[in-house]
Structure 1
Amino acid sequence: MTSKLDQLKAMTTVVADTGDLDAIARWRPEDATTNPSLLLKAAASEAYRPMLDKAVAFAHAAGGSSDEQLGLATDRLAVLAGQEILNRIPGLVSTEVDARLSFDTAATIARARRMVEFYDDLGVDTGRVLIKVASTWEGIRAAEQLEKEGIRCNLTLLFSFAQAVACAQAGAFLISPFVGRILDWHLANSGRDRFEPAEDPGVQSVSRIYNYYKANGYNTVVMGASFRNRGEIEMLAGCDKLTISPALLQELEDNHGELARRLAPETASTQDRFGPMDEARFRWESNEDAMATEKLADGIRRFAADQITLENQVRALARAA
């Protein structure tokens, strides 16, 4: 029997959750996703040094204040990384907007447009680029406008059903509901030390969203993310896309048991009923979901911290140049 990875690829688009260029070449995924944490890790490798140098030189030539140049350099680095990744995959790459803009719709739109312009300057087909935006109310409104402009978006840091409904109603191209971080919260707050894959709260959350979208005719792509173990992935086999770390890709390749399909459009059903999502309802639903509120805030803080660390590295490189 073929590996579980090959079986998964027959029913789900497999996405590499890494910025490591060697890992992407090794696993040959359809798409790839990056975020500030992954970019920070990748930037420590020799493969990224030429991109760092180019990004710093670009920002210096553009002029402006030191803070403006720093922002230009880090955005340019993210785009250069995306370009290199696209050279190694046939599909899409996701490039993330600075998490510190998560509550500023106008600034998120402006930064997204700049990143797309950078890709265009480099001769990259911008139809292969997704701009990643946090699934805050402000981020969802930014994505709504960007989608109207033809800039497709990946709504990330998604933990709640309310976020998923709002994203679909806004016309988002893709959402990235986080599985493992939901599990982390429930392990920390339930008094339990484990959940079987079928009862994993993160798995149940993504399954609920998938079934709701398919049963109601939403075109927004569901891409499960942030996995803690192989069992979570197996329970979501058939989901539109799954973004998976190299370590878990290896586990799937090494396992040759039968992989059953768990999700499919033709079997999707839901008991959920949801009318138009306005800001008041979104904020109330979010307030009532302690897990989603805490994990969204924590995720934004973590991405922002890694963005600052990356900026410090770029600043040091600029000074040494």
Structure 2
Amino acid sequence: MEPVAELLDLLDLTPIATDEFIGRNPERSLPFVFGGQVAAQSLAAAGRTVDSDRSVRSLHAYFLRAGDPTRPIRYRVERTHDGRSFSARRVVASQEGGVIFTLAASFHIAEDGLDHQIAMPAVPPPDTLPRLETWLAPHTERLPSWWRGPMAVDLRYVDEPPHVLTRERDWQPRQALWMRADGELPDDPLVHVCVLTFASDLTLLDPVLLAHGISWYTGRVRAASLDHALWFHRPLRADRWLLYAQESPTASGARGLARGSVFDAEGTLVATVMQEGLIRLLD
């Protein structure tokens, strides 16, 4: 199955009871379930219980334990609130009776109001930058198999990605990359925010390591996402180029914080992302 088709299949949850769904895992996986997948599937489950005139406003999620990629995931949705303008949902993801992830999502009807945004950084256009596979090709032996094959998301780093760090790089706690689904998506807005949710977890902790000139694959790093939050500001298409500008304001106590601003190709700020990760360095 093509990677984008497989991602859409992962988002097509199977209903098993009222407000309960089963999510599948991909054939090619990390040793654990990728956090962006659980977040995207949870959002897809929540979105199925909300009226179509309400779009996703935000989500706040906690990763509680590593998921088993060989077992399906059960998603249970709680209809926390339905008001005149907002709806709220809570999703609990579990495997074999143990909770692995929780998500709170808010939905909002379209309204007029104040409108401003920060400016998009000046970066080269995506068609002038190499695909991630080009960067990684000389380093496949030291990378997990999940990074070796084709991916559902086309990633194009403005600078060399931290998977292949070099000593000559000017280390800064920030990076920027273009991304888009590597294929056409259906027009359903929920699909696009779910795909962005999936993609938003792929690279966001990179700037924490970039601040210290450390590669993910030195054998010295043990990391895991702790929590993840997105705010969706304006309509977006995840199969069109989006610039993901990221930075890490701080790291301490074996935890690193990162934030990202997502712009479309016209410079419109469509989403803001925050994540804290557990990052331990081994001797």
**Does TM, scored on the shorter chain, surpass 0.5?**
no
What's the TM-score once normalised by structure 2's chain length?
0.26
Which structure carries more relative contact order (alpha carbon 8 Å, separation 6+)?
1
What's the TM-score once normalised by structure 1's chain length?
0.24
Task: Report the structure, 1 or 2, having the larger helix content.
Answer: 1
Task: Report the structure, 1 or 2, having the larger strand content.
Answer: 2
